[in-house]
Amino acid sequence: MTAWANTLLQGIMLGGLYALFAAGLSLVFGIMRLVNLAHGDFIVLAAFVILALMQVLGIDPFLATLLASPLLFAFGYGLQSQLLNRTLGRDVLPPLLVTFGLSIIIQNGLLEVFSADSQRLRAGAIETASIALGGGIAVGTTQLLTLASAVAVILMLNHLIHRTETGRAFRATSDDPEVAQLMGIDNGRIFSLVTAIAMVVIAVSALHLGMRANFDPTIGPARLLHAFEAVIIGGLGSLWGTLAGGILIGVAQAIGAKINPEWQILSGHLAFLAALVLRPQGLFAGHQRRAADWRKHLRARLEAITELARRGWEEVVNFIRREWISSRRRIGGKRTIVYPTALSPRQIRSTLEPGQAGQGRFRIAVATLSGRHLTAATGGVVTLLVALPAFAGRDLLNDLIFVFTMLALAQFWNLLAGYAGLVSVGQQAFVGLGGYLMFAATVHLGIDALIAIPLCGLLAGTLALPTALAVFRLRGAYFAIGTWVIAEVYRLVLAQFKALGGGTGMSLPVFVTNEVAGIEWVKALFDVRTSAARDIITYWAALVLALGTIALVCLILRSRHGLALAAIRDSEVAAESVGVDNFKTKLWVYVVTAAATGMVGALIYLQKARISPDAAFSVLDWTAYVIFIVVIGGIGTIEGPIVGVLVFYILQTNLAHLGTWYLMLLGLFAILVMLFAPRGIWGYLSQRYGFALFPIRRRLVQTG
């Protein structure tokens, strides 16, 4: 019993650290609804700032934290006022992507300055001191200090929010930013002050992180996940709930480690998922009165929208006549009105002014002249790509395999985020699942690799169903991080399977890679060796996946399902009021993209012929790069990922030798694009010149 009592006590102490990680995140989200994906990296950055002050001034970590706090306060205020305030709005994507870029910049900047070596904040004798509680139970002094600091921080934040004039401004801005601004509150200044205070809390959490354990520049994302889990378990906006959530995760990890040391982190994630399924609103539903007011407001809006929908199609026609007149523009010298493709020609004609439809002055078109020219050119490019193995070297084919697989991943992430509004930071879950299923099917079941690819996709889509039941309980930015947690769970679970290489991974046997279906035919056709023939088959498979992905996405978006996706992205309440089943629509999109991503993952690791949990479930390789591709090219367009993957390939080919500087440049580039050209390269060209290689809207074009 003493051993288990010690285990529970250690879990509670660890929970205090997680509560410190989460307090700043909870404060920022509660006031401005901003989820900062760089939050964990800010904790690591603060730890390195404290370390630098200790080394330069020769002081202890407590005094260094005291000196670092005003520096971090100023940093947070400036970052929010000069950068993050520009991203706030109804769309969750800009702040997510900007903070994701900041995360990459901070990680690699710290690697460049401090190297990858582990560091620690040395505090002297207090690190090893302990307090005996009797009965063979003892607690470390630093651990007890961590829990006390967590309670003190939450007490001070609650006092600030509920007992001060500044706190009243915080609450007013949180409840209704527009009304608060009309009352003379400067929302931008309030948001900047909130982030500055959060950075001071981060400094305190960094102090305790550095005293309790080693840290290095790459551990930020794990700290973010722990903080996120504590916030969700406790209840959004509840600081005391954050403490309870942190303790629950800490106890779960302590119990898991007691049973099996390899289960520590996994146990915490599973506790989070269990809490999410059983009580998605959190243990302490914070801001209940505000939530009730919001539900009343939402209900009134929904009733108004529903009443509008009941008025029938004629009201919609009048709305189009009145509101869509701004969509008229001249393309090729002719006046054009753009409509969703899912509207039928009869419905479009009904939007014309009386007498116009029968006069032959307008015609309905989907393709544009520029689109026809680009489509013809694309046909020639596809023909060339199919025949390319006849005269191209293996290096070029391998480069194109990378381009095609990244294009397929980008197209489906774009379908999720750009059209369905499901911003996922966990698509690496299905890349990794596809890769591991490929190894299991070929090595242990003896299935041919090419046949295994669609089977892997089918199984990945099947596993996406229970995944969706968990993460669909979250919304917006929290959905994004929830998918990341799911990916981590899959990574940790698969690392337990020794038959698949465990934590170190495994390689494909030669009999799998050299006996792919059709390899003898390719060897005879091109007169090449087995390895070269395997590359050619993989190249063709990647080409088919890329082209099939584009075709499938195009068909979806030109159907009524595509119109439903666009409606959900713009307003879930309005979409549901006109008959769209939001849950089912999102579910099938999520499952389809998971299945397709699993197929791509299977092909990627067939070509690599080696897999490990860390590589297969890498958020950088299979999500961060994909997000960069979509943002640079143009989110919400089919052509955008094509342009983005070409830009990414050119940058990687020419700048990858710069190492960490290359990754920092990618992060900075993504931030600048999101701030100054959020529609991306193709979005800008399409808006300015009317280009549409894959048009998904019907247009009413003036003919006379």
Q: Of the ranges 182-196, 281-295, 501-515, 601-615, which is most confident? A: 601-615
Q: Is the pLDDT of residue 662 over 50?
A: yes
- Region 594-618 average pLDDT: 94
Least confident of 68-77, 105-114, 340-349, 490-499: 340-349
Q: Give CA–CA dist 117/37, Å, rounded.
A: 23
Residue 441 binned pLDDT confidence (cut-offs 50, 70, 90): very high
- DSSP result, 270-332: HHHHHHHHH-TT-SS---HHHHHHHHHHHHHHHHHHHHHHHT-HHHHHHHHHHHGGGG-EEET
Q: DSSP string covering 576-590, please?
A: HHTT--HHHHHHHHH
Report the predicted TM-score, pTM, of the whole model to 2 decimal places. 0.83
pLDDT of 368 reads 53
Distance from C-alpha of 181 to C-alpha of 175, rounded to nearest angstrom: 11
The pLDDT value recorded for residue 560 is 78
What pLDDT was estimated at residue 13? 92
CB 46 within 8 A of CB 204: no
**3-state percent helix, strand, coil for the chain, nearest multiple of 5:** 75, 5, 20
- The closest of 476, 465, 399, 463 to 432, measured between CA atoms, is 463
CA-CA distance, 375 to 385, in Å (whole number)? 15
Instruction: Report how far residue 304's alpha carbon sits from residue 320's, in angstroms, rounded to the nearest whole number.
Output: 18
Indicate the pLDDT class of residue 150, thresholds 50, 70 and 90. very high
What type of residue is 171? R
Q: Which of 491, 680, 463, 624 is nearest to 99 (CA)?
A: 624
pLDDT band at 555 (very low <50, low <70, confident <90, very high): confident
Residues 694 and 112: their CA atoms lie apart, in Å, by 43
Of the CA atoms within 13 Å of residue 361, those in its CB half-sphere come to: 10
Instruction: Tell me which of 67-76, 123-132, 227-236 is least confident.
Output: 123-132
Name the amino acid, one letter, at 332. G
The residue among 392, 368, 694 whose CA lies nearest residue 543 is 392
pLDDT of 653 higher than 50: yes
287 conformational bin, left if phi > 0, alpha if psi -120 to 50, beta if neither: left
Q: Which residue has the higher pLDDT, 436 or 666?
A: 436
pLDDT at 477 (0 to 100): 74
Structure-model confidence comparison of residues 192 and 316, the more confident one:
192
Higher pLDDT, 7 or 198: 198
CA 588 – CA 124 distance, rounded (Å): 56
CA distance 535 to 392: 12
Cβ–Cβ < 8 Å for 228, 239? no
Q: At what angle do helices 449-471 and 264-278 cross, to 10 degrees?
A: 60
* pLDDT reported for residue 438: 94
Residue the block writes with tokens 């089912």: 584
pLDDT digits (tens, 9 = 90+) for 299-346: 444 444 454 454 444 544 444 444 443 344 443 444 444 444 444 555
Give the pLDDT score at 341. Answer: 47
